[in-house]
Amino acid sequence: MKLLSSLPRPIRRPAQLGLGVVLAVALASCGNQETYPLTTLSPQGKQADTIHSLVKPIFVIAAIVFVLVEVFVVFIVLRYRRRRDDVDGENEPVQLHGNTPLELTWTALPALLLAGLAVFNVQTIFSLEERAPDAIEIDVYGQQWWWEYRYDLDSDGEPEIVTANEMVIPVGKPVELNIRSRDVIHSFWIPALNGKMDATPGSTHFMAMQANEPGVYEGQCTEFCGLSHGYMRMSVKALEPAEYEQWLTDQQAPPEEPTSELAQEGLTAFQSQCAYCHQVNGLTSEGTYEAEGPVADYQGLDGAAVPTVRPGVAPNLTHLMSRERFAGGMFPLYNDDDTPNEAQLKEWLTDPEAMKPMRPNNQQGMPNLNLDPATIDALVAYLVTLD
């Protein structure tokens, strides 16, 4: 603001006002996590904080330059505007061709300013790459149009937990993501926790993450990935460390066996209709659960080929109801009163393409199996037992 007070009097006030308005719009209007769940201006994690502490001064400097230039433009136009009584050919302007020292100065000054800022730029780039020795590793797989997360807790190369859409992490602990893709390029982005990183077939990309506070942080795939790119969403749920440990335990146990007759019917239907693609860990052909069943036999990293129909190509449903949303993070699993959102689950099973654009004929997304309403009722009754 001190800089502004050195401006000529007639433009000082508009300059201050302009700067105020720009900063207000930029920083205040969209920084609220409640109203804008994807806002980039309300960091909630270590890495996002690091980025934000670089963004803030840049925005301020850019805003100052912006106001100065714009005010200068208006000032020049008003000051040097041709008057009504000016006659062409009389009292014409001085034909000034340039001023080399002045021009060298205004070339060198911004270059020096940028060179100063470059230091912080480089620092930030490398500090975001820092790895913690005790970090929790999570494998993140993008595919059309949902995200899968795999937790290999004992580092034996085989995941113990496979879940979808909603990644769970402990608060205050460093987390490292290995981001991969099973088909096209996607981009993993939880604005409150870090910037984005592409998931590219054939590569593994690193991203660090650490949440400051418990909460659910929204995300959206940000690399155009085809038909339903807009409906490829995800979230990160940050839990207190104790709750996180509990979540790990719960996830590794098989779900409770269904008790109602309808849900039993649903389980049978699941085995004949859904289990080609969706896995429920430990589910035996007899309809019981065994504790030591295979968790994930599908790797699906064969590059750009569309996955064939086999268990694991679609989201793992073992603990479906422990999540908050389904269908690529699109639809809530619970109503406002915490009862399961059976209505939308039924709608989904009736006609998935009507709710989310997909191309099942080209093996992109969930096909409509033309289930009859009774089967759908049974299936939903079973699905809501997968807690």
Residues between 13 and 52 with contacts to other proteins, criterion CB under 8 A: 25-26, 29-30, 35-41, 48, 50-51
In what helix (H) or strand (E) does residue 351 lie, and over which residues does it extend?
none
CB under 8 A: which stretch of 197-205, 208-216, 310-318, 366-374 binds other proteins?
A: 197-205
CA atoms of 1 and 23, how far apart (whole Å): 13
**Does the protein bind other proteins through residue 374 (CB under 8 A)?**
no
Within positions 110 to 169, which residues make up the interface with other proteins, using CB under 8 A?
A: 110-111, 114, 117-118, 121-122, 124-126, 128-129, 144
CB under 8 A: which stretch of 7-15, 249-257, 299-307, 310-318 binds other proteins?
A: 299-307
- C-alpha dihedral sign at 258, 262, 268, 269: negative
The count of residues in the chain is 387
Least distance from C-beta 7 to other proteins, angstroms? 15
Least distance from C-beta 192 to other proteins, angstroms? 9
Tell me the number of residues near other proteins by CB under 8 A: 99
**Does the protein bind other proteins through residue 357 (CB under 8 A)?**
yes
* Among residues 49, 139, 152, 198, the one that binds other proteins under rule CB under 8 A: 198
State the residue for tokens 């009736």.
350
CA atoms of 9 and 153, how far apart (whole Å): 66
Within positions 301 to 340, which residues make up the interface with other proteins, using CB under 8 A?
A: 302-306
Least distance from C-beta 156 to other proteins, angstroms? 26
CA atoms of 192 and 290, how far apart (whole Å): 39
Q: Pick the closer one to other proteins by CB: 167 or 177.
A: 177
197 phi, psi to nearest 5 deg: -145, 130
Instruction: Report the relative pairing of strands 166-170 and 136-143 from DSSP bridges.
Output: unpaired
Within positions 92 to 111, which residues make up the interface with other proteins, using CB under 8 A?
A: 92-100, 102-103, 106-107, 110-111
Do the Cβ atoms of 345 and 351 come closer than 8 Å? no
Q: Pick the closer one to other proteins by CB: 9 or 131.
A: 131
C-alpha distances out from residue 56 to 52, 116, 279, 341, Å? 6, 16, 45, 41
**Does the protein bind other proteins through residue 59 (CB under 8 A)?**
yes
- Spatial strand order of the sheet with 215-220 comes to 166-170, 233-239, 215-220
* Among residues 5, 91, 249, 339, the one that binds other proteins under rule CB under 8 A: 91
Least distance from C-beta 326 to other proteins, angstroms? 15
End-to-end Cα, the chain, rounded Å: 57
In what helix (H) or strand (E) does residue 190 lie, and over which residues does it extend?
none
Least distance from C-beta 239 to other proteins, angstroms? 22
Residue closest to 273 by CA, chosen among 315, 311, 299, 308: 311
Within positions 204 to 263, which residues make up the interface with other proteins, using CB under 8 A?
A: 205, 218, 220-231
